[in-house]
Chains A and B, each alone.
Chain A
Amino acid sequence: MSELLAIRGAEVRFGPVAALRGLDLSVRAGEVVGLLGHNGAGKTTTMKLALGLLRPQSGSVRLLGADPAGPEGCRARARVGFLPENVSFYEMLTGREVLRYLARLKGRPAAEADRLLEQMGLAHAADRRVRTWSKGMRQRLGLAQALLGRPALLLLDEPTVGLDPMATAELYATIGRLRAAGAGVVLCSHVLAGIERHIDRCVIVGHGRVLAAGTLEELRARARLPIRVRVRGRWSEPPLQGLGEGEGVVARRINGHQLELDVAPERKLAVLRALASEPGVEDLDVRPPGLETLYAHFDAMLHRGPHGEGA
């Protein structure tokens, strides 16, 4: 099975409100897909669709090769881990009781629940009621339950909310290990900072549609956003001759010895060569547009209307 999750042209309406309008999403083994979009973009609806909790009005959904809303899909969920947004548990049970209960629902031994508690650094609190746990601890318990049964597909809805930087780093390390072991991961997030190093592909959604999808390089190529070059050095006259200012290059003077250039992608090498051969230039810092810039770009295209795509 090449595709762990395949959603094609899914439309979901809640009464008059269209939550998804022809959404496509595909996840293969061994890849981490970032499902990015602001609140209300349709991320959680997509998760519910993948789990068979919703049926699309049109379009198709396959989860591990099965219809997730049917009996086969129900069995397929034994190999799927899901972390809901703002996960909550039985407050009156202890962490160990919660995880052992969920392990039994997945047909896993209690020992696996105990091992995951250990692995998530929750062993010290495992026998206290969840009611007394902090947000970060609950989030880690949520992650622990998603990892029950070594899932082939992991659906994580805003997994870093409530985690401190250390726990976030551990989360990404865990995701990296699962990917290396061949699992597919969907990472839903509206927090873009720091996520790009951990995802193989992004799917940017807005208003129930895919605004853009692909690797970061592919998105950069499509967006054709300028590359930012910072130049530092000693000069009496800024080294702008021969750079073709105005033809794909916009320059800003920051101060007497720093310059910032926005360079069109196809002019990048020419500009860098010219700058490198300037005697006054001491340092160059080249920054391709980041995920946040790309997201803002594709999101702005949505607001410019459906025909803004060709720009």
Chain B
Amino acid sequence: MRALAAIAAKELRDGLRNRWALSIALGLAVLALVIAWFGPAASGKVGFASLGATVVSLASLAVFLVPLVALLLGYEAVVGEAERGTLLLLLAYPVSRGLLLAGKFAGHALLLAAAVAVGLGGAALALAATGAAEAEGFWPAFARLVGSTVLLGWAFLALAYALSAGAREKGRAAALALAAWLGLVLVYDLVLLGALVAAAGRIPAWLFEALLVANPADAFRVLNLGGEAAKEALGGLGGVARGAALSPALLVAVLLAWTALLLGLAFWRFVRRPV
């Protein structure tokens, strides 16, 4: 366990030292504030409008940004060490591949969680300073947003690990990560909505729900856009999702399951990887 802590601590320190975590947290906070503040501009005013609208806006921001950030953080995890030549050295130590993977993931997961918490939390504090916190359920809504965003990030971090563990070269892992982001965050939703419209209600509810949880980004969307606070501000899939019988607990479990599954895949590929 000391070795696991040492590996995790190194990843954490690397991320703090190269200011990765700081830039992500700052970027997230600034974007969150801009969106929360100017989001209602279309309706003719600026400033904190309603909790529901703010949470929906921030969730939409998070679902684009956080998967990308997580993929960029994790795509080098295995293939980067292999290309640098340090993987051969580390594996000659009394460290199993599983431990190495778990330690690196723990460090990256903490780093990502800290960046998200500081970024979104910072935005929440800034909004609270303008009096927005008086809205009922402000803090619980933000806590839920931060928590679900962290889970979203972890699922995509695990995906990045799975890609990294199987990739021959760093460039290939990066290309796959980018393709995964495009596919899961942008294309999947469009195709799903399109199919829904084209089928004109002939898609059974269970299939639709299964398709929603088959993508961690959509599980996150349903979790946040289907929530009580978001009922008043719906759009796209959120409206459809409201009718779906997917409880928040189930969606959280789905995000955790994706993380575990993809991390398992990363381990499976890493063990088979020639050094």
Contacts and interface: CB of A to CB of B under 8 A. Distances in A.
B85 to A, nearest CB: 4
B134 to A, nearest CB: 46
From B3, B14, B91, B274, name the one whose CB has the most chain A CB atoms within 10 angstroms: B91
Interface residues of B, number: 22
A84 B92 contact: yes
Contacts of A76: 94
B89 to A, nearest CB: 6
A301 to B, nearest CB: 32
B3 A82 contact: no
A86 B93 contact: no
B88 A84 contact: yes
Closest 3 CB pairs of A and B: A88-B85, A104-B6, A82-B92
From B6, B84, B94, name the one whose CB has the most chain A CB atoms within 10 angstroms: B94
Given A84-B88, A90-B84, 7 more contacts: A71-B96, A75-B94, A76-B94, A86-B85, A88-B86, A105-B93, A107-B2
A101 B10 contact: yes
A91 to B, nearest CB: 8
Interface string B81-110: 000111011111111100000000000000
A64 to B, nearest CB: 11
Nearest to A71: B96
Contacts of B14: 90, 92
B88 A105 contact: no
A84 B3 contact: no
Contacts of A96: none
Contacts of A145: 89
Interface string A66-101: 000001001111101010101111101000000001
Given A51-B91, A74-B96, A75-B94, A89 B86 contact: yes
Contacts of B93: 77-78, 102, 105-106
A84 B2 contact: no
A51 B92 contact: yes
A105 B92 contact: no
B202 interface: no
Interface in A110-160: 145, 155
Interface in B1-30: 2-3, 6-7, 10, 14, 17-18
B14 to A, nearest CB: 7
Contacts of B249: none
A48 interface: yes
Contacts of B3: 104-105, 107
A143 to B, nearest CB: 12
23 contacts: A48-B275, A54-B274, A71-B96, A74-B96, A76-B94, A77-B93, A77-B94, A78-B93, A78-B94, A80-B92, A82-B92, A88-B86, A88-B89, A89-B89, A90-B86, A92-B14, A104-B2, A104-B3, A105-B6, A105-B7, A105-B90, A105-B93, A107-B94
A53 interface: yes
A107 B2 CA distance: 7
A204 B84 CA distance: 30
Interface of A: 14, 48, 51, 53-54, 71, 74-78, 80, 82, 84, 86-90, 92, 101-102, 104-107, 145, 155
- What's the dominant secondary structure at chain B's contact region? helix
Contacts of A53: 88, 91-92, 275
B236 to A, nearest CB: 42
A101 B6 contact: yes
Interface in B226-264: none
Nearest to A142: B89
A296 B85 CA distance: 32
A179 B84 CA distance: 32
Contacts of B85: 84, 86-88
A107 B234 CA distance: 54
Nearest to B96: A74
B60 to A, nearest CB: 35
Interface in B91-149: 91-96
Contacts of A106: 93-94
Nearest to A80: B92
Nearest to A86: B85
A106 B105 CA distance: 20
Contacts of A77: 92-94
Nearest to B91: A53
A18 to B, nearest CB: 15
B89 A84 contact: yes
Given A53-B275, A84-B89, A105 B95 contact: yes
Contacts of A107: 2-3, 94
Nearest to A73: B94
A78 B92 CA distance: 9
Interface in B47-92: 84-86, 88-92
Contacts of B84: 88, 90
A51 B17 CA distance: 33
Nearest to B100: A105
Contacts of B7: 105
Nearest to B89: A84
Given A48-B275, A105-B7, A74 B92 contact: no
